[in-house]
A and B are shown apart, each in its own frame.
Chain A
Amino acid sequence: MNTPIAAVRRPLLEEEKWLGRLMLAPAVIYIAALVGFPFLLAIFYSLSDATVGSQTLHFVGFKNFQRILENRTFWTSLRNALVFTFVSQLLVVILGKVLAMALYKDFRGKWLVRFLILLPWVAPISLGSIGWLWIFDPVYSIINWMGRASGLLGPDTWPIWLGQPNLAMASVIMVHVWRLLPLATVIILAGLSSIPQDIHDAAEMDGASFWRHLTHINIPLLMPIMLVTLLFGIVFTFTDMIVIYVLTRGGPYDTTQVIATLAYFTGIQGGDLAEGAAISLFLFPLLVAAAIFLLTLAKRTEVT
């Protein structure tokens, strides 16, 4: 007795095609609702004259984009955003690599150090930033008082960390590095652990010095991972506004104003939704280009 297989009707859920789609649905809906929809809305707003208060919308073409390109604050913000991103990410990748290599070795109390290093990442960003706000306080700054007490700061120097144009940028970069360092460290550490111990042993047997080992073996093998870390960092930094919002609000004199904060201040606080949307959309092609570039590079340096 042979029953033809086609005659047996299988329940819908057993069909792999449908089960697969069902499983993917939550993620697709989530992305469509929380990323896709706002993105399309932003494009729509950027081509209109929407403001927070008005009920009507008019299509204005590329007028908003034209306006922001003529705006000097926008160019300052773009330059600041690039400085903020590249300086902080350079520091994050270098320090992350150093930390990962330190944590890769076995030593007593390693778990405690790992925990402490991860802490800035698990703590809410705003909370951490508020902590730094106190550290940088013009009157009570612990850095200044410690500097004064130890004699590192002379009696006439009293830096206002968030109030002096150059120091303000350095300060927000420092806080941002503090915040993103754990993520970079953990990713690089994972990459480091994936290199077989034999390779390190072989390099040691072959008489490689520490620097040769680092530059000829360790870093080339880690390059794909480090580039991905860099990509994450760039995306996080370029689109982030919390650190700057809490610490300086873009001041003094827009010296720490970046694209993300400018879009927020223009669109939400200033009420000009259309121009805010246009500013934030400006990030998009830049980030896509950076992502494509870095992923291609990572693929090319991949070895196994």
Chain B
Amino acid sequence: MATVEARSITKHFDGINAVDGINLLVKEGEFLVLLGPSGSGKSTLLRMIAGLEIPTAGDILIGDRIVTLLPPKARNIAMVFQSYALYPHLTVFKNIAFPLEARGMKCEAVKSKVEYAAAMFGIGRLLARKPRQLSGGERQRVALARAVVREPVVFLLDEPLSNLDAKLRTTARDELQQFQRRLGTTTVYVTHDQIEAMGLGDRIAVLNLGKLHQLGTPHEVYDDPADTFVATFIGSPPMNLVEESPHTIGFRPEQFLPVECYSSGDDLVRFAFMVTRVEYLGADRLVYGTLTATHPDVKVISRLPTAVTLVVEKGQRHEFAVRRKDLKRFDPRSGLKVTAQ
């Protein structure tokens, strides 16, 4: 178990900084998620921690040791790739045994370790098969077993669930978290899927265009986004942003409800809301519309739980409101959160 630290790490690629001066400290045993859209530099950052890329500037530390220039094998970390990167010509047993044999471990020791890891992921009966004879979920387990088998100090996971179908992904997510908790190994997990990030991460690092926008618990990044990028990237549908001089104000769709839903004691900010479309999603309704009086062009979304039985229809004009304490304020220029009222 070890900490992982990035110190003003920068990677320059083809004229741009894919990773641009990121500082990050992953605590011992923590499950940290790097979340960002494609091109945000999250995979590059992970590859630099792995040692597969050499940073242009800055340092990587694993367990207080500077490893910036060390090759991957000197770092004792394991990585699971999006494609799983199983060796197609080797059996499952040989795949899992590969990292052990690469260290020159004795034959019997290899056998017992491989069998232990395979049993842990429930793939004991697949050991004689080749990767092409496995399903997607089984391949993913083999990849995890191969990562676990040599007891690394850090796990790096690069979108390991994105090749699974939606149903399997939910169970795999659950299992993944259980294994991480059981092993207590420091884990860095890359994804562009915010649901995975929110569900798995002890903390989430939100990245965009090579910069770290926010580092915090799922609660913090959702309830208290550091800037407009985080506010709109996390949450589905994203946070509504409305220009209201001197600030940009933001509110979550589920906090933007008809006035009837609030009790009389609430301190509300009211908006006249022109409904243009209603989507019924089962558990809730998404109401699309514009703020007619103040901002005729700004589109905002409200998410009504099904418990709200109020009739809201297209073409209707209705009074909606947000609790004043739920309003977020951002600087319109920099997009950064404004803390002082």
Contact = CB atoms under 8 A, between A and B. Distances in A.
B88 interface: yes
Given A204-B72, A208-B102, A220 B89 contact: yes
A207 B103 contact: yes
Main secondary structure of the interface of A (DSSP, over half): helix
A201 B98 contact: no
B73 to A, nearest CB: 4
A206 interface: yes
Nearest to A204: B72
Contacts of B99: 205-207
A199 B89 contact: no
Interface in A196-219: 196, 198-199, 201-209, 212, 216-217
B85 A204 contact: no
Interface in A261-304: 301, 303-304
Contacts of A221: 88-89
A203 B72 CA distance: 10
Nearest to B47: A201
Given A201-B52, A212-B102, A216-B98, A207 B85 contact: no
Given A196-B83, A221-B88, A204 B71 contact: yes
Interface string B59-96: 00000000000011100011101110111111000000
Contact of A207 (B50, B72, B88): B72
Interface string A179-211: 000000000000000001011011111111100
Contacts of A198: 81-83, 85
A201 B102 CA distance: 14
Interface in B132-159: 132, 146, 150
Given A198-B83, A204-B52, A205-B78, A304 B88 contact: yes
Contact of A208 (B90, B98, B146): B98
Nearest to B149: A206
Contact of B73 (A207, A301, A304): A207
Contacts of A202: 79, 81, 85-87
B77 A303 contact: no
B141 to A, nearest CB: 16
- B71, B98, B150: most-surrounded residue (chain A CB, <10 A): B98
Contacts of A209: 73, 102
B134 to A, nearest CB: 13
Nearest to A195: B88
A205 B72 contact: yes
B85 A199 contact: yes
Nearest to B77: A205
A202 B86 CA distance: 8
Contact of A303 (B98, B102, B132): B132
A217 B94 CA distance: 12
B132 A304 contact: yes
A50 B102 CA distance: 65
Contact of A206 (B52, B88, B102, B130): B102
Nearest to B74: A207
Contacts of A199: 85, 87-88
B98 A206 contact: yes
Interface in B12-34: none
Q: Which 9 pairs show the lowest CB-CB distances between chains A and B?
A: A207-B73, A198-B85, A202-B85, A206-B99, A303-B88, A303-B89, A207-B102, A205-B79, A208-B102
Given A201-B81, A203-B87, A212-B102, 11 more contacts: A196-B83, A198-B81, A201-B52, A205-B72, A205-B77, A205-B78, A207-B72, A207-B102, A208-B98, A209-B73, A216-B98
Interface of A: 196, 198-199, 201-209, 212, 216-217, 220-221, 301, 303-304
Interface of B: 47, 50-52, 71-73, 77-79, 81-83, 85-90, 98-99, 102-103, 130, 132, 146, 150
